[in-house]
C-alpha cells in the first residue's frame, strides 16, 4: 500500500443504507456518516454516489477536505459485490481515493465479527448471505440478491407480506391488524400497491419488517406466520453453514438480531456474539488487499 496513506476508511453498504467511517492510522475514529443504498447490483454509479457522499460527510466531520482523499485507503464491504460482472464494472469507475479494495458486505461483517480472524457469519438484513472463512478459503452461501435469493432477509419477508395482504383484500385469508396496517400505508388502494410494486426496491419491501415484529408481539397471526417463515429460512442457511464445517455462527443484521427468539433451541446454542460489526471489518479491509476478484 502506498506510503502516502494517512487514513483508513471503512464503508459498509447494503440495500438500505451506506455507512462510512474514517480512522487515522492508529485506529482512532475521526468521523462517521450514513447515506442511501450502496448495493452495486442495483447500479454501480448510484452506489458510488452514496459512498462518496458518505465519505465526504464523514470527512467534513473529521475536518478533512477533498485534498485528503488521495491519502485515504478505502475498504468497501458492499452488497452485490459477489456478482462478478457488477464487481468489475464498479471497480472500473473513477474515484479520488489513494487505494480501494472491494468485497461483499458479508465478508466485511465476518471480519468484524471475528476481529479479523477466520469464522462464520450469517447476515440477515434487507438481504441475506452466509460466509465461512476457514483455512484461508472463503465459502459463500446465498446472497444472490432479491427476489431470487436472500432468504431470511427483510425484502423477502416484505414481499411475502404484500402477497398475503393482497390475498386478504380478496377475502382469501383473514384481515389481520398487520394487513390493515399495510393497506393503510397505501391509502387502502390496491392499484397503488400494484403500481408501487413495479419499481419497488429491496429496501422498499424491507421497510415493513419493523411492523411485522411489532404486530407479532401483539399476537397478529399474519405477522407470526411471516416470522416463522423467516426463522425457517434462517435455520436452513445456518444448517448449510454447519454442514460446511462451521462450529459457531454470528447471526447479524437487522433481521438476524431480532429473529433469534424464533429459532429452534439447537440453532440458538450454536450462535456466537459478534466481537465487532461490518464497519470494523471494512476498516480491517482498508489495511490490505481484500478484493474478491483479481484486477
What is the pLDDT, as a whole number, of residue 117? 87
CATH of the domain at 195: 3.30.420.40
Q: How many angstroms separate the CA atoms of 42 and 271, rounded?
A: 31
User: Mean of the per-residue pLDDT values for the chain?
Assistant: 95
Is the pLDDT at 1 greater than 70? The verdict is no
Is 29 a residue whose pLDDT tops 90? yes
Q: Judge if 169 and 106 occupy the same domain.
A: no
> What ranges in 208-277 are assigned the alpha helix state H?
209-217, 221-243, 253-259, 265-268
Residue 92 lies in a domain: yes
- Whether residue 144 lies inside any domain: the answer is no
Whether residue 163 lies inside any domain: the answer is yes
Cβ-contact 31, 22 below 8 angstroms: yes
186 in a structural domain:
yes
Nearest-angstrom CA–CA distance, 246 and 267: 12
Q: Decide if pLDDT at 260 tops 70.
A: yes
Confidence of residue 3 (pLDDT cuts 50, 70, 90): low
Q: Rounded mean pLDDT of 39-43? A: 88
Q: Do 264 and 282 sit in the same domain of this protein?
A: no
**Residue 244 located in a structural domain:** yes
Q: Answer whether residue 127 is part of any domain.
A: no
Phi, psi of 271 (to 5 degrees): -95, 140
Confidence bin at 221 (pLDDT 50/70/90): very high
Q: Note the pLDDT of residue 106.
A: 85
**In which domain, by residue range, is 58 found?**
7-115+276-286
What percent of the chain is predicted at pLDDT more than 70?
99
Domain count, the chain: 2
Residue 142 lies in a domain: no
Same domain, 247 and 161: yes
Distances (CA, A) of 152 to 51, 146, 234, 238: 26, 11, 5, 11
| CA-angle at 82, arms to 277 and 99, nearest 5° | 70
| Strand partners of residue 24 | 7
Pull the grid cell for residue 14.
Answer: 447494503
Residue 165 · residue 183 · CB < 8 Å: yes
- Mean pLDDT calculated for residue range 131-160: 93
Residue 150 grid coordinates: 436472500
Instruction: Identify whether residues 173 and 254 lie together within a single domain.
Output: yes
- Residue partners of 44: CB distance under 8 A and separation at least 6: 86, 89, 90, 93
Using alpha carbons, list the distances in angstroms from residue 91 to 100, 114, 174, 224: 8, 27, 49, 42
Instruction: Calculate mean pLDDT across residues 44-70.
Output: 96
Whether residues 203 and 282 share a domain: the answer is no
Residues 109 and 168 in one domain: no
User: pLDDT confidence of 278, banded at 50, 70, 90?
Assistant: confident
Residues 95 and 169 in one domain: no
What pTM, to 2 d.p., does this model score?
A: 0.79
Say yes or no: 280 and 228 in one domain: no
d(Cα 75, Cα 100) in Å, to the nearest integer?
Answer: 6
Going by pLDDT thresholds of 50, 70 and 90, the confidence category of residue 154 is very high
Residue 98 has pLDDT above 70, yes or no: yes
133: phi then psi, degrees, rounded to nearest 5? -105, 110
Mean pLDDT in residue range 25-40: 94
| Coil, strand or helix at 20 | strand
Q: State CA 19 to chain mean position distance.
A: 11
Same domain, 171 and 111: no
Q: Are residues 76 and 173 in the same domain?
A: no
Render pLDDT for 110-126 as a digit per residue (tens, 0 to 9).
999 999 889 999 989 99
- CB-count burial class (<10 Å; 0-12, 13-18, 19+) for 41: buried
Instruction: Please give the average per-residue pLDDT across 246-267, as a whole number.
Output: 96
Residue pLDDT, tens place only, 163-205 = 999 999 999 999 999 999 999 999 999 999 999 999 999 999 9
Confirm whether 139 is domain-assigned: no
Amino acid at each position: 500500500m502506498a506510503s502516502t496513506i494517512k487514513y483508513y476508511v471503512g464503508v459498509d453498504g447494503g440495500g438500505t443504507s451506506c455507512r462510512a467511517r474514517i480512522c487515522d492510522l492508529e485506529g482512532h475514529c475521526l468521523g462517521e456518516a450514513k447515506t442511501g443504498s450502496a448495493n452495486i447490483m442495483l447500479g454501480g454509479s448510484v452506489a458510488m454516489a452514496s459512498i462518496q457522499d458518505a465519505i465526504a460527510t464523514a470527512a467534513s466531520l473529521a475536518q478533512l477536505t477533498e485534498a485528503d482523499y488521495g491519502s485515504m485507503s478505502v475498504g468497501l464491504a458492499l452488497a452485490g459485490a459477489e456478482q462478478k460482472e457488477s464487481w468489475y464494472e464498479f471497480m472500473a469507475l473513477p474515484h479520488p481515493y489513494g487505494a480501494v479494495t472491494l468485497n461483499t458486505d458479508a465478508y466485511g461483517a465476518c471480519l468484524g465479527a471475528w476481529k479479523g480472524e477466520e469464522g462464520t457469519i450469517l447476515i440477515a438484513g434487507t438481504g441475506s448471505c452466509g460466509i465461512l472463512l476457514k483455512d484461508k478459503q472463503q465459502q459463500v452461501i446465498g446472497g444472490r440478491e432479491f427476489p431470487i435469493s436472500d432468504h431470511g432477509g427483510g425484502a423477502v419477508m416484505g414481499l411475502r407480506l404484500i402477497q398475503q395482504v393482497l390475498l386478504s383484500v380478496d377475502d382469501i385469508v383473514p384481515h389481520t391488524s398487520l394487513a390493515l396496517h399495510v393497506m393503510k400505508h397505501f391509502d387502502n388502494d390496491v392499484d397503488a400497491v400494484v403500481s408501487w410494486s413495479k419499481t419497488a426496491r429491496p429496501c422498499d419491501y424491507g421497510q415493513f419488517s419493523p411492523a411485522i415484529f411489532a404486530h407479532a408481539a401483539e399476537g397478529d397471526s399474519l405477522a407470526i406466520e411471516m416470522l416463522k417463515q423467516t426463522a425457517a429460512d434462517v435455520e436452513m442457511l445456518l444448517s448449510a453453514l454447519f454442514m460446511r464445517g462451521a462450529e459457531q455462527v454470528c447471526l447479524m443484521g437487522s433481521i438476524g438480531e431480532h429473529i433469534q427468539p424464533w429459532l429452534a433451541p439447537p440453532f440458538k446454542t450454536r450462535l456466537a456474539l459478534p466481537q465487532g460489526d461490518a464497519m470494523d471489518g471494512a476498516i480491517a479491509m482498508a489495511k490490505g488487499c481484500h478484493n474478491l476478484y483479481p484486477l
